[in-house]
Structures are given as C-alpha cells and as structure tokens.
C-alpha cells in the first residue's frame, strides 16, 4: 500500500502517475503489498522509484561488464583509478572523481574482481550516481573505499526485517553449513530484480531456488541444513538521499 501525506493512493491515482516502464512494476508491487510505504510528497515516491529502477539496471550492467568474482585475497582493480589495499579493498586515488571511479568498474570490468558484498555496494553507488547526477555524487562521496560492507555514511543504508521484497532491495541467502574451505560461499548477497528473480555476483540473475541450489553445492561434507533466503531487507534510505 502506498500512502502520500497520510492518504492511501490507489486505482486511478496510481495509473495517473507519470512513471517509466521500468518503474511501473515497482509501483504496482508497492501498491499490492500489505506493507505501507509512506511518503510526504509524490516527488518523494518518484525519487524512490527512480533509484530502485536504477539499482536493477546497475545490477544488469554489472553482470554484463565482465567483472570477475574473487575473495579478498585475490581481488583485482584498475590500478590507474584505485589503489589495491593489503586487505583486498579499493581506495580511490585522490586525483580521480568518485563518478569516474564507479563508472570505470562498469566500463573496464575485465580489470576487476571482488566478492558479492562489494558488488552490492558498487551497485548502490552506481544507482545513486545515475539518480542524483555526477556533481552531487562527487560532492557526497569523496575518498571512496570499497571493501566488504564498508561504505560512505552518505549512502545511508538501512536494514529491516520483512518478506515483501521490492525490486532494488538487497536480500541475503544464508548458507549455514558452508564448506569452511570456501568461506566465500557462506551466503549470497543479492539484488531483487523482480518477483523471485535475483542478481547475485558470481551466480548471475536467477530464481531463488536456483541460488539455493548453487549454495547447497558449496556445503561442508555431511551437511544437512539447506541454504535459505533470510527475511531481511537492505537498501539506501531514499528520503535521506533525496534531501
């Protein structure tokens, strides 16, 4: 359900909203869920739809970019743009703008390899860049450092429990009995693309059952517990980004 300034929006009001073809399914999912999505203004709703649509597009673009999957010990980057740290993180060079640093990952993907948490942060940065523009992005995200779930505080990610996922949400497939020899498969951070279709770095775009099957193939010998999708949702705080 969608509520703007305390009023439920439905029917003809939803149809009258000027949204793109990529945003329309997200809007319909919001309207059809039992979760109440509260907005102060229509523009605030439209901004969230924009960022969510850009998040799914960034996920697809990262898949097509040629980036590789690697644990932190084997991460790689374009060292003309980033400094590769001892822990396997990427520190943006002071002479490079944040916009150029993020865009280079998508343009020169063959020079990069990293694990799934880094991929999610990169996707959120790219979606934010494409939503607010280079000038604002460069002002907000100076000194970018990419490593696991570390991110600039201005990205302002929030997490909460829930099972009504929307495109653009990050959700986690947990693998409780992963093989300790391959700890990178302890779980998979994914972006919801549409209903029961997820992007996971190293797996691709697949239904939830296929992601669970892939993770189950990476369990320790004798494991009995299946991988599963957690009821936890992570995404930027859209109102904060817009303001």
Rounded to 5 degrees, φ, ψ at 143 are 70, 40
For 89, the token pair is 């993180």
3 state SS of 2: strand
pLDDT band at 15 (very low <50, low <70, confident <90, very high): confident
pLDDT band at 46 (very low <50, low <70, confident <90, very high): very high
**Cβ atoms of 117 and 189 closer than 8 Å:** yes
Looking at per-residue pLDDT, the higher value among 134 and 10 belongs to 134
Q: What is the mean pLDDT of the chain?
A: 94
pLDDT of 16 over the 90 cut: no
Rounded to 5 degrees, φ, ψ at 162 are 160, 155
pLDDT band at 152 (very low <50, low <70, confident <90, very high): confident
**Cβ atoms of 137 and 8 closer than 8 Å:** no
**Cβ atoms of 93 and 81 closer than 8 Å:** yes
Residues 180 and 167: their CA atoms lie apart, in Å, by: 32
**Cβ atoms of 219 and 186 closer than 8 Å:** no
pLDDT of 119 over the 90 cut: yes
pLDDT band at 184 (very low <50, low <70, confident <90, very high): confident
Closest to 216 in 3D by CA, of 171, 181, 184, 185: 185
pLDDT band at 154 (very low <50, low <70, confident <90, very high): confident
- Minimum mean pLDDT range among 4-8, 53-57, 79-83: 4-8
pLDDT at 190: 97
CA neighbours closer than 13 Å in the CB half-sphere of residue 165:
22
The stretch 194-214 carries a mean pLDDT of 95
The stretch 167-173 carries a mean pLDDT of 98
> Residue 160: in which H helix or E strand, if any?
strand 157-161
pLDDT of 191 over the 90 cut: yes
CB atoms within 10 A of CB 141: 22
Helix axes 98-107, 42-64, angle to 10 degrees: 50
**Cβ atoms of 49 and 27 closer than 8 Å:** yes
pLDDT at 10: 82
List, for residues 88-103, the tens digit of each pLDDT value: 999 999 999 999 999 9
pLDDT band at 211 (very low <50, low <70, confident <90, very high): very high
Residues 215 and 176: their CA atoms lie apart, in Å, by: 10
pLDDT at 228: 97
Q: Is 93 exposed, middle or buried (CB count within 10 Å of its CB: 0-12, 13-18, 19+)? A: middle
The stretch 154-162 carries a mean pLDDT of 93
Residues 32 and 238: their CA atoms lie apart, in Å, by: 20
pLDDT at 243: 83
């Amino acid at each position: 359900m969608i509520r703007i300034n305390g009023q439920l929006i439905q029917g003809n009001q939803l149809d009258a909203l000027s949204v793109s073809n990529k945003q329309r399914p997200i809007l319909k999912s919001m309207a059809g869920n039992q979760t109440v999505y509260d907005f102060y203004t229509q523009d605030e709703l439209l901004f969230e739809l924009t960022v969510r649509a850009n998040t799914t597009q960034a996920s697809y673009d990262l898949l097509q970019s040629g980036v590789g999957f690697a644990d932190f010990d084997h991460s790689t980057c374009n060292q003309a743009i980033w400094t590769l740290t001892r822990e396997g993180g990427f520190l943006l060079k002071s002479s490079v703008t944040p916009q150029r640093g993020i865009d280079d990952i998508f343009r020169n993907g063959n020079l990069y390899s990293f694990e799934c948490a880094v991929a999610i942060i990169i996707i959120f940065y790219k979606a934010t860049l494409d939503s607010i523009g280079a000038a604002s992005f460069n002002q907000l995200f100076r000194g970018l450092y990419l490593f696991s779930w570390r991110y600039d505080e201005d990205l302002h990610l929030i997490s909460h429990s829930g099972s009504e996922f929307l495109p653009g949400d990050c959700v986690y497939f947990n693998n409780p009995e992963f093989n300790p020899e391959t700890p990178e498969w302890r779980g998979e951070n994914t972006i919801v693309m549409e209903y029961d279709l997820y992007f996971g770095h190293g797996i691709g775009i697949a239904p939830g059952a296929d992601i669970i099957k892939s993770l189950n193939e990476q369990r320790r010998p004798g494991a009995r517990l299946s991988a599963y999708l957690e009821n936890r949702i992570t995404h930027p705080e859209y109102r904060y980004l817009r303001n």
